[in-house]
């Protein structure tokens, strides 16, 4: 599989929370293929999903959760910026902390193919001359810092810091149906700029300082899942929520005590592991030093193009992978980590060679994990909750 980082839900709540449907658009892969540039892009060196987590200088409501499926599927929600509102489709990303959208200042092909923010058309915009660059594995995005009103359904955030793009790399942004990214990690990751989620709490927009995600295992154009600001929906999960403390308040990062495959301990985390819970990454990534062991355990070998292809008829016989986190067990059956795309089955697991801040091996729990487990992000108590998705 070609590892593209970007990473890039409708039920009525009894509390009367508003809702917003995540739309599933034409995939980046399909767009690239139609334009005849997919082959060129796939020749580029694979990127490590962990590169996204290098720290840099700035490093009563329902909203739908967007997530990137590497060159296959992704989800996005709508927000508005400015007065009167200018509408953008954004990935809502727990693996970063910035909000940014394309702007009139950006002249690259990627910006020209998307909605762009015009600050002169907003009566509430406040601009600065401060610029900074956000590093992604496939290229850097440069922005100018500004402040304006941001709306997510009926949530209104005043004076929200956001980036107006100056430069976006053409691959993959030109071919993506989303416009920008709304980061939902910690303020410490964005150089002190308050993320949208923190501003929601500070400005009294949430009934509780939490947000939660549900991803449909079988998303459709009409329904992908739910992102709920200010609460949880107990119709979307089974059993109780298991709470796990955040270990480092940069990302939504948690400790992993053990990983088993077919109920056999791998020993990968004998000295401790870390995991970043990231709605902006599709795949499950495992520490690079264990990738070969994983492939042997599940019985796959990489194809010539790097994909981990398996016989669709054998998926049910593949082993279950279980994560032990804060004493709780979270199994991932093969149906979770194997994708079936038009009869072509591939293991959606890849390596990262980035280690955690304490140098422990690092996992990234992306869409593969989050489709199995409803996730709750508690900003007041710095913890993440998981429950089996309904």
Beta-carbon contacts of 71 under 8 Å, excluding residues fewer than 6 positions away, are 2, 4, 27, 28, 29, 32, 172
Q: What is the mean pLDDT of residues 334-353?
A: 91
Q: What pLDDT, on a 0 to 100 scale, did the predictor assign at position 191?
A: 86
Model's pTM, two decimal places? 0.86
217 and 74 in a common domain: yes
148 and 204 in a common domain: yes
pLDDT exceeds cutoff 50 at 3: no
Q: What pLDDT, on a 0 to 100 scale, did the predictor assign at position 177?
A: 80
245 and 161 in a common domain: no
Work out the pLDDT band at 280, boundaries 50, 70, 90: confident
Residue 5 lies in a domain: no
Domain extent, residue 109, equals: 23-227
* Domain's final residue, options 179, 194, 227: 227
* Domain's final residue, options 227, 254, 285: 227
Residue 121 lies in a domain: yes
Count of structural domains within the chain: 2
> Is the model more confident about 9 or about 305?
305
Residue 2 lies in a domain: no
CATH number at 73 reads 2.40.70.10
Work out the pLDDT band at 238, boundaries 50, 70, 90: very high
Residue 41 lies in a domain: yes
192 and 78 in a common domain: yes
The span from the CA of 338 to the CA of 310, in Å, is 8
* Domain's final residue, options 166, 200, 227: 227
Q: What pLDDT, on a 0 to 100 scale, did the predictor assign at position 281?
A: 86
Active site residue 278: yes
Q: Report residue 201: phi and psi, to 5°.
A: -70, -50
115 and 59 in a common domain: yes
Q: What is the mean pLDDT of residues 79-101?
A: 94
Q: Among residues 48, 69, 93, 367, which one is catalytic?
A: 93
Residue 358 lies in a domain: yes
270 and 143 in a common domain: no
Q: What pLDDT, on a 0 to 100 scale, did the predictor assign at position 306?
A: 76
The span from the CA of 5 to the CA of 68, in Å, is 8
Percent of the chain exceeding pLDDT 90 equals: 62
Q: Among residues 69, 148, 278, 367, which one is catalytic?
A: 278
282 and 187 in a common domain: no
pLDDT in tens, 112-134: 999 999 999 999 999 999 999 98
Active site residue 69: no
266 and 220 in a common domain: no
253 and 370 in a common domain: yes
Contact 17, 205 (CB under 8 A): no
Residue 188 lies in a domain: yes
134 and 38 in a common domain: yes
Q: What is the mean pLDDT of residues 67-85?
A: 70
183 and 247 in a common domain: no
181 and 51 in a common domain: yes
- Nearest CA to 72 out of 283, 277, 276, 216 is that of 283
Structure tokens at 211: 């947000």
Residue 13 lies in a domain: no
**79, β-bridge pairs:** 88
Residue 301 lies in a domain: yes
């Amino acid at each position: 599989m070609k590892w593209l980082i970007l990473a890039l839900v409708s039920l009525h709540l009894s509390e009367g929370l508003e809702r917003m449907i995540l739309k599933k658009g034409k995939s980046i892969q399909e767009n690239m293929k139609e334009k005849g540039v997919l082959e060129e892009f796939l020749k580029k060196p694979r990127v490590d999903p962990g590169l996204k987590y290098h720290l840099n200088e700035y490093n009563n409501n329902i909203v739908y959760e967007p997530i990137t499926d590497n060159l296959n599927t992704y989800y996005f929600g709508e927000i508005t910026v400015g007065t009167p509102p200018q509408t953008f489709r954004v990935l809502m990303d727990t693996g970063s902390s910035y909000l940014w959208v394309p702007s009139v200042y950006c002249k690259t092909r990627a910006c020209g193919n998307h909605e762009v923010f015009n600050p002169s058309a907003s009566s509430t915009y406040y601009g600065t001359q401060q610029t900074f660059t956000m590093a992604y594995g496939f290229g850097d995005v440069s922005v100018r810092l500004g402040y304006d009103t941001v709306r997510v359904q009926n949530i209104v955030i005043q004076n929200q810091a956001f980036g107006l793009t100056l430069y976006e790399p053409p691959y993959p942004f030109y071919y993506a149906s989303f416009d920008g990214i709304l980061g939902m990690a910690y303020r410490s990751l964005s150089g002190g700029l308050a993320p949208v989620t923190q501003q929601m709490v500070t400005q009294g927009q949430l009934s509780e300082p939490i947000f939660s995600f549900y991803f449909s295992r079988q998303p459709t154009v009409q329904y992908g899942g739910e992102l709920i600001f200010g609460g949880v929906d107990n119709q979307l999960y089974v059993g109780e929520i298991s709470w796990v403390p955040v270990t480092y308040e940069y990302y939504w990062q948690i400790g992993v005590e053990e990983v088993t495959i077919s109920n056999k301990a791998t020993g990968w985390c004998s000295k401790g592991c870390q995991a970043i819970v990231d709605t902006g990454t599709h795949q499950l990534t495992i520490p690079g030093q264990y990738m070969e062991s994983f492939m042997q355990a599940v019985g796959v070998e990489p194809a010539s193009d790097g994909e981990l292809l398996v016989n669709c008829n054998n998926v049910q016989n593949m082993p279950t992978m279980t994560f032990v986190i804060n004493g709780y067990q979270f199994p991932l059956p093969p149906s979770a980590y194997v994708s079936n795309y038009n009869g072509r089955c591939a293991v959606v697991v890849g390596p990262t060679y980035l280690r955690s801040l304490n140098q422990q091996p690092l996992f990234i729990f992306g869409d593969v994990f989050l489709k199995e487990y409803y996730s709750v992000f508690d900003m007041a108590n710095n913890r993440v909750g998981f429950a089996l998705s309904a």
